[in-house]
């Protein structure tokens, strides 16, 4: 690709290699199966994907979590709910008394087969992260499928009725915004204000926080950029918006991403690209080694510019200083 030749390597722009400063978030991808096929999905998830985390890998996850002081268990997919063993796995995760969150596409919770997760999440105190790309119905449906917007409104109202998203209930409902095209998201504060006002006024919906996530130029989104002749401009935009101040808080510094097969990655995006942890860190749960993983050198590529553009981006939204780079 021409951009590989012309683009300044990420590590050079970052003035050297990135190093992790602990593992605060254990992000577990339980599989790529999903009831939706969103056009921006970097995982390229869908109903026909067969990758599902085997039970022995789930047990390895639990063993690592039991043995180490990791604050957050962050479960993602695909649609995690489509993993048949998720309920039992969630029970075991919840018993570890860590912050436990599930990233859901939301609309799956309207399906008869999966609606019981609403009660399960509530009972276990699971924090729910729902993807709501846009306040505009057409834009959301264009990205995620016909009828998804109205489904999401119904699900958010159900979650609200269980106390989710309300202050002081202990039931956390966070939303995710990501751009519906070849552009970067604006500042999180401005978008969160818009979401809060519009959802309250139009649908009576409340939520805790909005995470703004930049679309990564990998998977289906990269295909879209290339097909529409937007790839070069998008990458130039990411590189042009490179913000060194976002570097100390990029998610890979405090996150370890576990693939469905137990392989270890610096982030979900590296997972899709098949770039396991490296530089001497063990690349599978079966050979987990805390010091080598917690302070590993991070594997980077040009897609990393997606996390350092503008105010920065992570699975938790716009970045804030969370650890010292030299820690």
Please identify which residue in 139, 169, 208, 230 interacts with other proteins, judged by CB under 8 A: 139
**Helix spans in the chain (H):** 2-6, 10-13, 55-67, 86-95, 116-124, 137-144, 148-161, 188-203, 219-227, 231-240, 268-273, 290-294
Least spacing, CB of residue 130 vs other proteins, in Å: 16
Which CB atom, from 206 or from 241, has the smaller least distance to other proteins? 241
According to the binding rule CB under 8 A, does residue 150 interact with other proteins?
no
Name 7's Cβ contacts closer than 8 Å, sequence gap at least 6. 235, 239, 302
CA 95 to chain centre: 23
Q: Considering only 20-28, 117-125, 135-143, 278-286, which stretch makes contact with other proteins by CB under 8 A? A: 135-143
Q: Which of 251, 250, 268, 247 is nearest to 259 (CA)?
A: 268
Least spacing, CB of residue 190 vs other proteins, in Å: 4
Q: At 153, is the secondary structure helix, strand, or coil?
A: helix
Dist CA 51 CA 65 (whole Å):
22
Please identify which residue in 62, 186, 275, 294 interacts with other proteins, judged by CB under 8 A: 186
Please identify which residue in 91, 136, 289, 321 interacts with other proteins, judged by CB under 8 A: 136
Q: Which of 258, 255, 237 is nearest to 306 (CA)?
A: 237
According to the binding rule CB under 8 A, does residue 190 interact with other proteins?
yes
Query: Binding marks (x or -) toward other proteins, 225..244, rule CB under 8 A?
Result: -----------x---x----
According to the binding rule CB under 8 A, does residue 165 interact with other proteins?
no
Dist CA 104 CA 111 (whole Å):
13
Which CB atom, from 300 or from 318, has the smaller least distance to other proteins? 318
Cis-peptide into 78, omega within 30 deg: yes
According to the binding rule CB under 8 A, does residue 177 interact with other proteins?
yes
Which CB atom, from 67 or from 190, has the smaller least distance to other proteins? 190
Footprint on this chain of other proteins (rule: CB under 8 A)? 134-136, 138-139, 177, 179, 181, 183-187, 190-191, 193-195, 236, 240
């Amino acid at each position: 690709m021409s951009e590989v030749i012309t683009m300044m390597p990420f590590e050079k722009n970052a003035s050297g290699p990135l190093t992790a400063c602990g593992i605060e978030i254990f992000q577990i991808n339980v599989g790529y199966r999903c009831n939706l096929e969103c056009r921006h999905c970097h995982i390229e998830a869908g109903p026909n994907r067969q990758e599902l985390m085997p039970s022995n890998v789930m047990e390895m996850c639990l063993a690592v979590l039991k043995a180490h002081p990791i604050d957050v268990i962050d479960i993602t997919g695909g649609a995690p709910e489509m993993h048949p063993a998720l309920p039992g796995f969630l029970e075991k995760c919840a018993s570890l008394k860590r912050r436990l969150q599930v990233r859901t596409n939301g609309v799956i919770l309207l399906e008869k087969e999966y609606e019981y997760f609403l009660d399960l999440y509530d009972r276990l105190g699971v924090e729910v992260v729902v993807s709501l790309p846009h306040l505009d119905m057409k834009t959301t449906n264009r990205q995620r499928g016909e009828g998804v917007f109205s489904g999401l409104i119904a699900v958010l109202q159900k979650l609200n009725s269980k106390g989710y998203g309300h202050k002081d209930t202990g039931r956390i409902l966070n939303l995710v915004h990501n751009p519906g095209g070849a552009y970067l998201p604006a500042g999180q504060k401005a978008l969160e204000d818009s979401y809060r006002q519009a959802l309250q006024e139009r649908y009576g919906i409340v939520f805790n926080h909005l995470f703004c996530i930049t679309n990564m130029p990998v998977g289906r989104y990269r295909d879209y950029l290339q097909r529409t002749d937007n790839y070069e401009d998008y990458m130039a935009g990411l590189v042009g918006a490179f913000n060194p101040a976002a570097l100390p808080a990029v998610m890979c510094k405090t996150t370890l991403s576990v693939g469905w097969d137990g392989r270890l990655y610096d982030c979900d995006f590296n997972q899709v690209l098949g770039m396991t942890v490296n530089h001497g860190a063990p690349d599978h749960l079966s050979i987990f080694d805390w010091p080598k993983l917690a302070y590993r050198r991070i594997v980077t590529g040009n897609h990393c510019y997606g996390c350092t553009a503008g105010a920065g981006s992570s699975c938790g939204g716009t970045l804030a200083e969370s650890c010292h780079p030299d820690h």
